[in-house]
C-alpha cells in the first residue's frame, strides 16, 4: 500500500440533479444528437449541471479522472492516469449506460507507458441520490462510490479488477477541501455551445490517496507522489477509432505491454492439455514471445510459432540437450501421468525423477522463473472432507497419503519449491482444482459420456457435496501471472513474506461453486441431454460403495491386479466427498481473478468435446 498526497480527482458531471439542471420532475427524457446550447443557473455544489437546449444525447455525462505524479528530481512524471466517461440518458436514477469508456494510462520510471481505452460492452449503471454517487461499469471490474458530497472530507472509493487487461486496484481518496471547483460554466447565466463529447468538469484539488495497484502481476510503487490538474487537457471529441471492447483482447493487444518479458520460454508438456493453453495465453499477452516445447510426443496441439523438441524428461541427457539449445528464461512444467495411473514406477519416474532433472537443468542453464503445475490432492488424505482449505494445510506424503499419484506430486512440488533462490532460480507452484476445458479427455470427456449415455440422471448420496473446478484458461492465466511475478522478483529485493510469490504454492479455481452432481447435470444439459428433476435417481451411498468394492475386487482378481474398473471405492469417495479450496492467497499476491466463469468454461468444454470428439468417433449411445 502507498500514500500519495495531493492526488487529483477530476470528475465531469452533467445534469446530475434535476432541480439544478432546471427541469421539472415530470420532464420527458427526450434527447437530441449534435450541437446544443448549455446554460448554468447556479454553481452551488458539486452536483450542479447546465441546462441543455435542445436536450443533448451527451447531456448527462460523468467522468472520473485521476492523475498521480512524482515530483522527484524537480520534474513532474505522470504515474497513473485513470478515467471513465459515460453517456447517460436520465437523472438521479439507475439507468443503463452505453457507450462506456474507461481509459487507463500509466508511465513507469523507465519511461514505458501502459495505455488502454475500452468500451464496457455490458453496459453500466450510475445512481445519484442524496447519499452520494455509486457507479458500476458492468463487465469491466470497475466501480466507483462517493459520499459526503460538498463537504470537506468527501470520500471516494474506486475498485478496479479487470482480468482482460490484467489491472487490479483499490483506490481510496479523502479530500482535504470542499470538492466543488468548477472548470467550466462557473457563473450563473453563463452559456456555452456544447459539442458532442465535450464535458463539464469538477475537480477535487487536494486529497490523500491510498492505493494498491498491480498491472500484469507487478505492483505499481512510487515515492514523493503529488497530484496536479493539467489545464491543457483540451475539449476535443473522443476518437471513436480508439474504442476497443474490453473482451476483445486480441484487438487491444497492441495497447497491452508485457511488463517483463518471459522469453525465451520452455513449456514442458506443451503439446498436452494444460501446456498448449499456457502457450495460447502467452501469445495472447505477447505475440512476439519466443516459445519452445519439450514433450514426449509433439504431434498434437501444435502452433507454427513454436519450436518443438521430442524428449523424455526422465532421461537427463535429453533434458540437458534441450536446455542447452533453448536457454530458457522461463520454464512451465506441466507433465504428469494420468491421475488414475496405477503404475507406481511410472509415476515415480515422471513426477519425481523427471521434475528433479528439469530443476537441475534449469539451475545450470540460468533459468529465472520455474512454474510447476501441481495438484490439490497433495494436501488431501482422500477420506476427510476439505472445506475452504488454504495453503497452510500440510502436504501429505506416504504412508499417510494413500494415493501414489498425490504422493509423487507432493514430492515433486517440494523439489521445486526447495530449489527457490538456488543458483538464481525462482520457483512457484500452481495447484489447480479439477481442470476442464477444450482438449480435456478426462473430466470433460466423462461428463459428456455421462450425458449421452443417460448416466447423468444417477446421483450417489444426497448430492450436496460441493466441488471446486477450474477452467483450463484460468489455470493458464494463473501460471503466466506467477511466471511474471517471478521474473519481476528476480531483479528486486525480496518482498515481505506476506507478499512473496517465489517459493510459494497457490490454489487456483473458478470463483463459483456448485455441487458435483449439479455440474454433472449442467454438462448434460449443455450437451443436449437435459435431466429433469423427477428423473434423478438418488442411490444410497452405502449401496454404491458396496457395489464398487465387489467390482473392484473382481477386476483385480481377473487381471492379477493390472487393471482397475472405472468406478472404484476411491472414485466413489472422491465424487461424494466435499473438497473446496480458498484462493485468497493468489488473489492477494498475484491479482488473480478467474476470467472465465464455471458455466461459460463448461459450455466451451462441452462444445469442444461434442463437436471434435463425439461427432467424429465417440457415438456409442
Residues forming the active site:
409
Rounded to whole angstroms, the Cα distance separating 439 from 127 reads 44
Give the 3-state secondary structure of residue 116.
Answer: strand
Non-local (6+) Cβ contacts of 16 within 8 A are: 47, 48, 49, 60, 62, 91, 92, 128
**471: phi then psi, degrees, rounded to nearest 5:** -70, 135
Is the CB of residue 113 less than 8 Å from the CB of residue 123?
no
Interior/surface letters 452-486, b for 16+ CB within 10 angstroms, e for the rest: beeebbebbbeeebbbbbbbbbbbbbbbbbbbbbb
Could you tell me which of 439, 505, 485, 118 has the C-alpha nearest to residue 279?
439
Cell 495411473 identifies what position?
341
CA–CA distances in Å: residue 444 to residues 293, 314, 436, 437: 25, 29, 6, 7
Residue pair 296/336 in contact by the 8 Å Cβ criterion = no
Nearest-angstrom CA–CA distance, 437 and 443: 9
Torsion angle (degrees, nearest 10) of CA 541, 542, 548, 550:
-170
Cβ atoms of 379 and 319 within 8 Å: the answer is no
Counting other chains too, the contacts that 84-88 makes at CB distance below 8 Å and 24 or more residues apart are 84/135, 84/137, 84/142, 84/144, 85/12, 85/61, 85/197, 85/199, 85/238, 86/61, 86/62, 86/124, 86/126, 86/135, 86/137, 87/57, 87/58, 87/60, 87/61, 88/60, 88/61, 88/62, 88/126
Q: Which grid cell sits at 509?
A: 479455481
Phi and psi at 360, nearest 5°, equal -65, -40
Cβ-Cβ contacts under 8 Å for 194 (sequence gap 6 or more): 35, 36, 37, 38, 50, 52, 56, 58
Residue given cell 528433479 in the structure block:
356
Strands (E), 490-591: 504-508, 514-515, 537-539, 579-581
C-alpha cell at 605: 468444454
Torsion sign, CA atoms 524, 530, 532, 536: negative
Amino acid at each position: 500500500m502507498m500514500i500519495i498526497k495531493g492526488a487529483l480527482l477530476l470528475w465531469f458531471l452533467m445534469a446530475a440533479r434535476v432541480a439544478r439542471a432546471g427541469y421539472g420532475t415530470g420532464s420527458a427524457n427526450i434527447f437530441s444528437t449534435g450541437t446544443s446550447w448549455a446554460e448554468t443557473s447556479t454553481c452551488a455544489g458539486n452536483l450542479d449541471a447546465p441546462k441543455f437546449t435542445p436536450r443533448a444525447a451527451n447531456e448527462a455525462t460523468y467522468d472520473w479522472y485521476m492523475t498521480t505524479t512524482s515530483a522527484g528530481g524537480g520534474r513532474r512524471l505522470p504515474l497513473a492516469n485513470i478515467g471513465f466517461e459515460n453517456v447517460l440518458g436520465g437523472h438521479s436514477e439507475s439507468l443503463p449506460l452505453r457507450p462506456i469508456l474507461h481509459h487507463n494510462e500509466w508511465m513507469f520510471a523507465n519511461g514505458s507507458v501502459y495505455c488502454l481505452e475500452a468500451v464496457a460492452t455490458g453496459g453500466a449503471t450510475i445512481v445519484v441520490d442524496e447519499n452520494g454517487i455509486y457507479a458500476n461499469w458492468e463487465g469491466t471490474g470497475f466501480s466507483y462510490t462517493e459520499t459526503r458530497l460538498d463537504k470537506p472530507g468527501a470520500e471516494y472509493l474506486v475498485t478496479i479488477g479487470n482480468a482482460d487487461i490484467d489491472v487490479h486496484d483499490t483506490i481510496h481518496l479523502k479530500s482535504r477541501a470542499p470538492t466543488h471547483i468548477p472548470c467550466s460554466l462557473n457563473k450563473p447565466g453563463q452559456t456555452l455551445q456544447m459539442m458532442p463529447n465535450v464535458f463539464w468538469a469538477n475537480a477535487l484539488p487536494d486529497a490523500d490517496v491510498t492505493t494498491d495497484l498491480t498491472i500484469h502481476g507487478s505492483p505499481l510503487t512510487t515515492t514523493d507522489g503529488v497530484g496536479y490538474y493539467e489545464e491543457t487537457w483540451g475539449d476535443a471529441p473522443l476518437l471513436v477509432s480508439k474504442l476497443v471492447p474490453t473482451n476483445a483482447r486480441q484487438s487491444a493487444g497492441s495497447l497491452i505491454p508485457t511488463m517483463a518479458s518471459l522469453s525465451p520460454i520452455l513449456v514442458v508438456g506443451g503439446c498436452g492439455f494444460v501446456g498448449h493453453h499456457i502457450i495460447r495465453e502467452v501469445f495472447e499477452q505477447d505475440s512476439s514471445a519466443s516459445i519452445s516445447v519439450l514433450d514426449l510426443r509433439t504431434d498434437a496441439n501444435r502452433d507454427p510459432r513454436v519450436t518443438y523438441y521430442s524428449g523424455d524428461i526422465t532421461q537427463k541427457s535429453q533434458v540437458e540437450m534441450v536446455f542447452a539449445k533453448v536457454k530458457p528464461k522461463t520454464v512451465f512444467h506441466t507433465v504428469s501421468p494420468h491421475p488414475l495411473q496405477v503404475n507406481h514406477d511410472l509415476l515415480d519416474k515422471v513426477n519425481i525423477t523427471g521434475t528433479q532433472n528439469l530443476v537441475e537443468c534449469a539451475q545450470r542453464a540460468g533459468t529465472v522463473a520455474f512454474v510447476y503445475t501441481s495438484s490439490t490432492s497433495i494436501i488431501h488424505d482422500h477420506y476427510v472432507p476439505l472445506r475452504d482449505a488454504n495453503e497452510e494445510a500440510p502436504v501429505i506424503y506416504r504412508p499417510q497419503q494413500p494415493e501414489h499419484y498425490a504422493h509423487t506430486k507432493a514430492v515433486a512440488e517440494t523439489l521445486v519449491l526447495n530449489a527457490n533462490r538456488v543458483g538464481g532460480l525462482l520457483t512457484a507452484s500452481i495447484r489447480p482444482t479439477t481442470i476442464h476445458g477444450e482438449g480435456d479427455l478426462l473430466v470433460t470427456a466423462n461428463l459428456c459420456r455421462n450425458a449421452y449415455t443417460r448416466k447423468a440422471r444417477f446421483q450417489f448420496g444426497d448430492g450436496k457435496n460441493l466441488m471446486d473446478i477450474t477452467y483450463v484458461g484460468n489455470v493458464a492465466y494463473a501460471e503466466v501471472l506467477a511466471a511474471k511475478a517471478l521474473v519481476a522478483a528476480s531483479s528486486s529485493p525480496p518482498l515481505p513474506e506476506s507478499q512473496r510469490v517465489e517459493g510459494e504454492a497457490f490454489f487456483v479455481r473458478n470463483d463459483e461453486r456448485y455441487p458435483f452432481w449439479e455440474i454433472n447435470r449442467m454438462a448434460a444439459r449443455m450437451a443436449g441431454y437435459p435431466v429433469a428433476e423427477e428423473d434423478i435417481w438418488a442411490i444410497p451411498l452405502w449401496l454404491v460403495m458396496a457395489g464398487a468394492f465387489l467390482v473392484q475386487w473382481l477386476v483385480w482378481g481377473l487381471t492379477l491386479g493390472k487393471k482397475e474398473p472405472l468406478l472404484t471405492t476411491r472414485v466413489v469417495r472422491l465424487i461424494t466427498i466435499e473438497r473446496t479450496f480458498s484462493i485468497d492467497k493468489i488473489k492477494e499476491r498475484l491479482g488473480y481473478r478467474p476470467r472465465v466463469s464455471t458455466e461459460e468454461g463448461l459450455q466451451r468444454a462441452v462444445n469442444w468435446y461434442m463437436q471434435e470428439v463425439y461427432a467424429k468417433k465417440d457415438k456409442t449411445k
